[in-house]
């Protein structure tokens, strides 16, 4: 029998999903596992968003919508960009997608040709290189280090540019390192993009979970014409299961992404779209509550891990830390296994993120769970 396509057989399954599955399996066996592997806020979706979804069902808003997304949602997203990011986008420059993942996927599909190189600062979210490869692109990694607070060295970034480079993927705040790039770094990165005529994919999924006291600057602030801004409802409003993401960028790219989505999944879920209008319009209270809760948990997990001999830098955004686990095992995959099997704490090895010697812990769980996890890991 003829086999699978080259693209699908090269695709790596997500390591986060694999660890979460193993942790769930242990839980099913009645074993008390603390899950610090998955990347989702533990808060419930705010009530007013749920009510908007119920109202949408009652009003019969349960049919196909325009592929780009319902106009009212795109208008609300455009207003959000203006209010929070000082960016001017028309509704025609915004696409609503099935989660942020699909926004990235559509944009990669619209922009990449086989052989195009895409620069990705490492550690990175595991999905980026896989999506780039799916379209025949070649990921090129620029390593950043814990000792430097995962700061992006602009000279190293520029040194990675070749005649084949088409795009830079920027993710600030970052999953998994939690680094938030300074305004100067983003401005410098945009100058490099300008000089070498590159696209920038700016994944701003964690923009609201930032402990610096201000919203990070959007890359598009420096040049809207070469940036695809990716964001969504999942992390900001605790809506991971609702599957709403969005992309904003030049109209011709959004038009290409519209055609791609129109021939694949069509519109994102109609009820979730109507609920997201409520989320985008009115969530500052929830966002502030969640950010401050995450801040307390971050402080607890960073000090706890350092106390038990797992050096961990303090991240300025998102809800992950990268802990040095070489004390437990020099290989991070082995360390993650030991932590799961002995301490019953699920963590993700840094291997696929290009964070050698480290594991990623998500602190989107209660303070009690964090204290318990530290106490258990400390006994290894």
Ligand X SMILES: Cc1ncc(COP(=O)(O)O)c(C=O)c1O
Site of interaction with ligand X (CB under 6 A): 39, 99-101, 125, 171, 175, 203, 205, 232, 234, 240, 245
Query: Do 87 and 221 touch, CB atoms closer than 8 A?
Result: yes
3-state secondary structure of 246: strand
**The two structure tokens encoding residue 177:** 């390192």
Q: Which is nearer to ligand X, 175 or 325 (CB)?
A: 175
Q: What is the nearest approach in angstroms of ligand X to the Cβ of residue 58?
A: 26
Q: Which is nearer to ligand X, 203 or 258 (CB)?
A: 203
Residue nearest to ligand X (CB): 99
Q: Which is nearer to ligand X, 210 or 234 (CB)?
A: 234
Q: What is the nearest approach in angstroms of ligand X to the Cβ of residue 331?
A: 24
Q: What is the nearest approach in angstroms of ligand X to the Cβ of residue 16?
A: 8
Q: What is the nearest approach in angstroms of ligand X to the Cβ of residue 99?
A: 3
Asked if the bond preceding 50 is cis, omega within 30° of 0, the reply is no
Q: What are phi and psi of 300, to 5 degrees?
A: -65, -45
Q: What is the nearest approach in angstroms of ligand X to the Cβ of residue 285?
A: 22
CB atoms within 10 A of CB 29: 8
Q: Which is nearer to ligand X, 247 or 339 (CB)?
A: 247
Q: Which is nearer to ligand X, 210 or 328 (CB)?
A: 210
**The two structure tokens encoding residue 376:** 């258990």
Q: What is the nearest approach in angstroms of ligand X to the Cβ of residue 131?
A: 10
Q: Which is nearer to ligand X, 227 or 374 (CB)?
A: 227
Q: How far is Cα 214 from Cα 196, in angstroms, rounded to an integer?
A: 30
Rg (CA), the chain: 20
Q: Which is nearer to ligand X, 127 or 185 (CB)?
A: 127
**The two structure tokens encoding residue 205:** 């999924």
Question: What are the residue ranges of helices labelled H in the chain?
Answer: 6-10, 15-28, 47-58, 71-85, 99-111, 127-134, 154-159, 183-195, 251-262, 270-281, 284-307, 332-343, 367-378
Q: How far is Cα 347 from Cα 354, in angstroms, rounded to an integer?
A: 15
Closest by CA to 294, choosing from 235, 353, 358, is: 235
3-state secondary structure of 319: coil
Q: Are strands 165-171 and 117-122 parallel, antiparallel or unpaired?
A: parallel
Q: Which is nearer to ligand X, 232 or 349 (CB)?
A: 232
Q: Which is nearer to ligand X, 130 or 203 (CB)?
A: 203
Closest by CA to 318, choosing from 211, 246, 200, 170, is: 211
Q: What is the nearest approach in angstroms of ligand X to the Cβ of residue 328?
A: 25
Give 3-state DSSP helix, strand, coil % of the chain, rounded to 5.
45, 15, 40
Q: What is the nearest approach in angstroms of ligand X to the Cβ of residue 341?
A: 25
CB atoms within 10 A of CB 300: 15
Q: Which is nearer to ligand X, 40 or 194 (CB)?
A: 40
Q: What is the nearest approach in angstroms of ligand X to the Cβ of residue 38?
A: 9
3-state secondary structure of 243: coil
Please give the DSSP secondary-structure letter assigned to residue 210: B
Q: What is the nearest approach in angstroms of ligand X to the Cβ of residue 107?
A: 12
């Amino acid at each position: 029998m003829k086999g699978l396509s080259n693209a699908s057989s090269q695709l790596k399954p997500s390591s986060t999903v694999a660890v979460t599955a193993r942790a769930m399996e242990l839980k099913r066996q009645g074993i008390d596992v603390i899950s610090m592997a998955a990347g989702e806020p533990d808060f419930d979706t705010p009530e007013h968003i749920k009510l908007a979804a119920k109202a949408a069902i009652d009003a019969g808003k349960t049919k196909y919508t325009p592929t780009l997304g319902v106009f009212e949602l795109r208008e609300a997203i455009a207003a959000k960009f203006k209010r929070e990011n000082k960016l001017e986008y028309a509704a025609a420059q915004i696409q609503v997608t099935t989660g942020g993942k699909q926004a990235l996927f559509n944009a990669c599909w619209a922009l990449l040709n086989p052989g195009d190189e895409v620069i990705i600062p490492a550690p990175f979210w595991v999905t980026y290189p896989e999506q780039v490869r799916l379209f025949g692109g070649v990921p090129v990694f620029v390593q950043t280090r814990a000792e430097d607070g995962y700061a992006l060295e602009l000279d190293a970034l520029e040194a990675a540019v070749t005649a084949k480079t088409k795009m830079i993927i920027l993710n600030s705040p970052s999953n998994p390192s939690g680094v938030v790039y300074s305004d100067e770094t983003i401005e410098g990165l945009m100058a490099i993009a300008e000089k070498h005529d590159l696209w920038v994919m700016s994944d701003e999924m964690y923009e609201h979970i930032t402990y610096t006291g201000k919203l990070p600057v959007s890359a598009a602030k420096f040049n809207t014409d070469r940036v695809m801004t990716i964001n969504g409802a999942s992390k900001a409003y605790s809506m991971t299961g609702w599957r709403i993401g969005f992309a904003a960028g030049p109209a011709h790219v959004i038009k290409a992404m519209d055609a791609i989505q129109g021939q694949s999944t069509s519109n994102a879920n109609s009820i979730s779209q109507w609920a997201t209008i409520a989320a985008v319009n009115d969530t500052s209270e929830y966002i502030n509550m969640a950010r401050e809760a995450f801040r307390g948990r971050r402080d607890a997990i960073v000090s706890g891990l350092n106390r038990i001999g797992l050096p961990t830098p303090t991240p300025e955004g998102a809800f992950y830390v990268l802990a040095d686990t070489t004390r437990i095992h020099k290989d991070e995959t082995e360390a993650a296994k030991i932590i799961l099997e002995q301490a019953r704490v699920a963590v993700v090895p840094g291997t696929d993120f290009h964070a050698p010697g480290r594991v990623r812990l998500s602190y989107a769980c209660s303070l009690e769970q964090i204290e318990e996890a530290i106490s258990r890991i400390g006994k290894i």
